[in-house]
């Protein structure tokens, strides 16, 4: 691309969490609205947006090496070069440094400012280097184009930011304070997603269960109220939400799991560690006991609920015995699937400067033990599902002829062979468990 041209094609590369996937999709829609086309598979794009993640490990370094690779691979005979934009949480945290270190980057845009991409593009095409890491009071959502396309599963960001300030976490600094999107906007976006093909919507937020809003009568409602309203959308078959904080797990939301058929039996409720001293040092504001009590309440109303969580091993000062408590907690819960990470010091967070940082070798060993246990439990959960009849939402074709892939209500990957198409909700019998997926026999196609 010559410097004075608006790009004709784009590619958005998203790293990290599902909220980044959502943001990446919305940026793509915004670019498409400007008449810029997605670059074809395997083709160079005129504009590359790196939608970055800052939550763990050398994420910023990965961005610099990606930039280096794009510049190196770009060898057009006419000497043109792509416009590189860095978006997401690394942009927010290290915008100025990126501009100083990577001359190839022409645009830096934070997660709350990407609705301004079109203006920024015009400036960048005119040869300027532009940075926008504002966190404006008016949210970007109103300025984004309406949703027009969707696959069978869609994300819907309902809440952003975090006020919890866990001592290891960078999110409150990169994504800002907790903000809930208004109920009416969400219902409208959900209806559009359903009209354009979505059968399952996953509500997203860094603290999704901290969402608050008002119903049509102006009465305050929580996430359970929003889920109840969404469940009224006739062609929407499934609702999920992620990620939740134990302290925002209200009675209403727990009850919703027993009352709303469209709310899938799956709860991602990160605990992070299984020891109260560590949880306190993390500023988690819940205890092992209060966490387990919530799980008990949810299981009481929805006995088949699949539980999921996040864990950090090697938080500063974590002793061997304290780590053993994490394994005990895992044994007590019996998770269906989990994410687990080595603690990674994030610049600017309180834990980064705490004494007694844990050596990498110790963290490696702890992570391996934890993951062995979690994998064992995931496999056990899958095996325990065998013989059940359930719905699967078909998401895509499998590798083998006639094979289809989708998800069970408990978010297991399921594969089966037979007459179906993407977007079908089919009834299957789960027949054979693997550690990461389940084979099934097609019984019936419920709806096309
Ligand atoms: N180091 C390791 N893991 C982290 N997470 C957040 N911050 C860090 C960090 N500094 C993990 C937590 C969180 C998930 C999204 O990422 O487990 O729930
Ligand atoms: Fe980070 Fe804690 Fe907020 Fe989750 S609750 S985003 S871990 S500060």
- pLDDT for the residue 74: 67
The alpha carbon dihedral of 407, 410, 414, 419 has a sign of negative
Distance CA 342, CA 438 (A): 29
Q: Could you give the CA distance from residue 18 to residue 51 in angstroms, rounded to a whole number? A: 12
pLDDT tens, position by position, 47-102: 999 999 999 877 778 888 999 888 877 655 566 678 999 999 999 999 999 999 99
Instruction: Kindly state if the Cβ of 336 falls inside 6 Å of ligand 2.
Output: no
For the Cβ of 169 lying below 6 angstroms from any atom of ligand 2, the answer is yes
How many other β-carbons are positioned within 10 Å of the β-carbon of residue 389? Answer: 12
CB burial of 26-51 (b: ≥16 within 10 Å; e: otherwise) equals bbbebbeeeebeebeeeebbbbbbbb
Q: Is 256 exposed, middle or buried (0-12, 13-18, 19+ CB in 10 A)?
A: buried
CA of 285 to the centre of ligand 1 (A): 16
Q: What pLDDT is stored for residue 144 in this prediction? A: 87
| pLDDT over 60 at 370, yes or no | yes
Given ligand 1 and candidates 169, 339, 342, which is best to mutate, with the most ligand atoms within 8 Å of its CB?
A: 169
Instruction: Show the 3-state SS of 92-157.
Output: HHHHHHHHHHCCCEEEEECCCCHHHHHHHHHHHHCCCCEEECCCCCCCHHHHCCCCCCCCCEEEEE
Euclidean distance between CA atoms 140 and 108, whole angstroms: 16
Backbone angles phi, psi at 316, to 5 degrees: -50, 130
Report pLDDT for 76. 58
Reply yes or no on whether the pLDDT at 396 is more than 90.
yes
171 lines ligand 2 (CB under 6 A): yes
Question: Would you state the pLDDT for residue 56?
Answer: 85
Higher-confidence residue: 214 or 2?
214
Q: What is the mean pLDDT of the chain?
A: 93
Rounded Cα–Cα distance for residues 159 and 380 (Å): 34
Question: Which of the four pLDDT bands, split at 50, 70 and 90, describes residue 448?
Answer: very low
Question: How many helices and strands, by DSSP H and E, does the chain display?
Answer: 12, 21
Residue 330 confidence (pLDDT) above 70: yes
How far away, in angstroms, is 179 Cα from ligand 2 center?
Answer: 14
Residue 206 alpha carbon, nearest atom of ligand 2: 6
């Amino acid at each position: 691309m010559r410097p004075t041209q608006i790009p004709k094609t784009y590619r958005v590369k998203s790293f990290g969490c599902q909220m980044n996937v959502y943001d990446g999709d919305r940026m793509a829609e915004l670019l498409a609205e400007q008449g810029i086309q997605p670059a074809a598979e395997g083709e160079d794009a005129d504009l590359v947006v790196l939608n970055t993640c800052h939550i763990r490990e050398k994420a910023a370094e990965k961005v610099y090496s990606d930039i280096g690779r794009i510049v190196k691979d770009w060898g057009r005979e006419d000497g043109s070069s792509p416009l590189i934009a860095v978006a997401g949480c690394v942009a927010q945290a290290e915008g100025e440094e990126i501009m100083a270190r990577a001359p190839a980057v022409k645009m830096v845009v934070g997660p709350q400012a990407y609705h301004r991409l079109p203006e920024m593009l015009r400036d960048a095409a005119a040869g300027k280097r532009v940075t926008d890491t504002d966190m404006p009071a008016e949210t970007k959502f109103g300025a984004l184009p309406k949703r027009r396309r969707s696959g069978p599963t869609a994300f819907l960001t309902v809440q952003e930011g975090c006020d919890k300030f866990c001592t290891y976490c960078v999110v409150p600094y990169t994504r800002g304070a907790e903000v809930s999107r208004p109920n009416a906007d969400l219902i409208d976006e959900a209806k559009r997603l359903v009209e354009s093909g979505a059968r399952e919507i996953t509500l997203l937020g860094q603290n999704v269960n901290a969402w608050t809003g008002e119903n049509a009568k102006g009465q305050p409602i929580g996430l359970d109220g929003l889920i109840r309203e969404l469940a009224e959308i006739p062609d929407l078959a499934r609702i999920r939400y992620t990620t939740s904080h134990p302290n925002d797990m209200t009675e209403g939301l727990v009850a919703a799991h027993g009352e709303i058929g469209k709310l899938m039996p799956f709860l991602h409720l990160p605990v992070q560690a299984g020891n109260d001293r560590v949880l306190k040092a993390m500023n988690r504001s819940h205890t092992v006991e209060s966490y387990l009590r919530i799980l008990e309440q949810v299981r009481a109303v929805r006995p088949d609920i699949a539980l999921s969580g996040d864990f950090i091993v090697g938080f500063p000062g974590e002793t061997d015995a304290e780590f053993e408590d994490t394994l005990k907690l895992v044994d007590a819960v019996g998770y269906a699937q989990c994410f687990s990470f080595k603690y990674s010091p994030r610049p600017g967070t309180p834990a980064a400067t705490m004494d007694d940082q844990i050596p990498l070798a110790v963290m490696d060993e702890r992570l391996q033990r934890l993951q062995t246990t979690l994998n064992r439990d995931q496999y056990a959960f899958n095996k325990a599902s065998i013989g059940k009849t359930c719905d699967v939402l078909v998401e895509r074709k499998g590798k083998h002829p006639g094979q289809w892939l989708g998800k069970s209500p408990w978010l297991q990957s399921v594969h089966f062979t037979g007459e179906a198409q993407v977007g079908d909700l089919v009834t299957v019998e789960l027949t054979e468990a693997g550690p990461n997926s389940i084979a099934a026999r097609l019984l019936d196609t419920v709806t096309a």
